[in-house]
Amino acid sequence: MTATFQPLPATLTAIETVHEAVRVFTFEHNQPMTVAPGQFAEILLPGIGSFPVSACGYVTAGSFQACIKQVGRVTTALFRSAIGDRIDLRGPFGHGFPLADLDGRDLLLIAGGLGIAPIRALLQAVQGRPVRSITLLYGVRRADDLLFLPELKALAASSCLRLLLAVEEPLVGSLPPLWCNGTITDLLDELPAVLDNTAVAVCGPPQMYAALLERLAESGIAAERIFANLERRMRCGVGQCGHCVAGGRYVCTEGPVFNLVQLRQMPGAIA
């Protein structure tokens, strides 16, 4: 028996469908385990398989919330689960977004696709912290792919958040306010000219990082305040199994959140 791999029994307590293939699952357990924004946990379906996933909500100890897309065998099994089912967890793993470093900053959140999940957790976490302002740039391929839109719009309406949306697939008719046709990088033109007090948190598909991160640095944001959450096939979570290594670093233990100074020293870490 290897204690590192001992799972934590949890119960599936809520399922919310937020897209035809995406649901938010809430798990509850009786341990003081909290998955901070940017950290991840492993969801295990006994006898079926497991996968790593980051927290999509900032919740109290004893609870874990994850936004999951149905893509394969194990996620399909999870989608067939019912409230009350036993699901195991392992974690939390890795380093999340450095909340204290964001205090007093103009916070720029950037999410691509399902990358909104950990960004949503971060957005919830900073609500109670002294950040100076929050802007969210959120890009998806199709308008239907936008997740958590009602709650994001509600935050924007209450002036807690400046929300800008980018949709790659052309929209029919006139564009609603906040929207643009294009990608995340097209939204960068909407940012203020002076960004020297800005801190950035990014999560999205790997191909998004290469173009985006250096452009953010060129716009005047300090590289040590540009944080990106790397997606990798994290298996053990404890820096042993070798799967998630990028640029010589274990993403599971040294990340998954890295700043741009670190990423520049990790060849191959971002596409």
Partner 1 sequence: MQFITLDKTTGSSLWEVLAAVCTMLTPGLAPDGLVRWLPAKGWPLSDVLLPAAPVKAFLLPQNEVVWGNASDAATLRPTALIGVTLCDLAAVAVLDRVFAADSGWQRRRHNLFLVGMPCAGDADCFCSSWSKLPACDLYVDQNRRLWLVSPRAIALYTKAGFPGERDERGPVLPLGKQTAATGALFEQPLPQPEALAAAAARCLGCGVCTAVCPTCQCFDLREAIGDDNVVQRLRVWDSCQFAEHGRVAGDNFRPQQVDRLRFRLEHKLHGFGPERGEVTCVGCGRCARACPSGLGLHSLLAPDAGGRS
Contacting positions for partner 1 (CB under 8 A): 1-7, 44-51, 69, 71-72, 205-206, 231-233, 235-236, 238-243, 245-246, 248-250, 253-254, 268
Side chain identity at 265, as an amino acid letter?
Q
Query: Cβ of residue 221: shortest distance to partner 1, in angstroms?
Result: 26
* Of residues 130 and 242, the one with the C-beta less far from partner 1: 242
Token code pair at residue 237:
């979570």
Token code pair at residue 208:
């998004």
* Of residues 48 and 175, the one with the C-beta less far from partner 1: 48
Side chain identity at 206, as an amino acid letter?
P
Residue 33 to residue 45: CA distance in whole angstroms = 19
Neighbours of 209 (CB within 10 A): 23
Query: Cβ of residue 48: shortest distance to partner 1, in angstroms?
Result: 6
* Of residues 80 and 233, the one with the C-beta less far from partner 1: 233
* Of residues 14 and 71, the one with the C-beta less far from partner 1: 71
Up-side HSE of residue 210: CA atoms within 13 Å toward CB? Answer: 7
- The closest alpha carbon to 14, from 4, 6, 24, belongs to 24
Query: Cβ of residue 59: shortest distance to partner 1, in angstroms?
Result: 24
Query: Cβ of residue 5: shortest distance to partner 1, in angstroms?
Result: 4
Contact call for residues 193 and 254 (beta carbons, < 8 A): no
Query: Cβ of residue 9: shortest distance to partner 1, in angstroms?
Result: 12
* Of residues 73 and 215, the one with the C-beta less far from partner 1: 73
Residue 139 to residue 206: CA distance in whole angstroms = 14
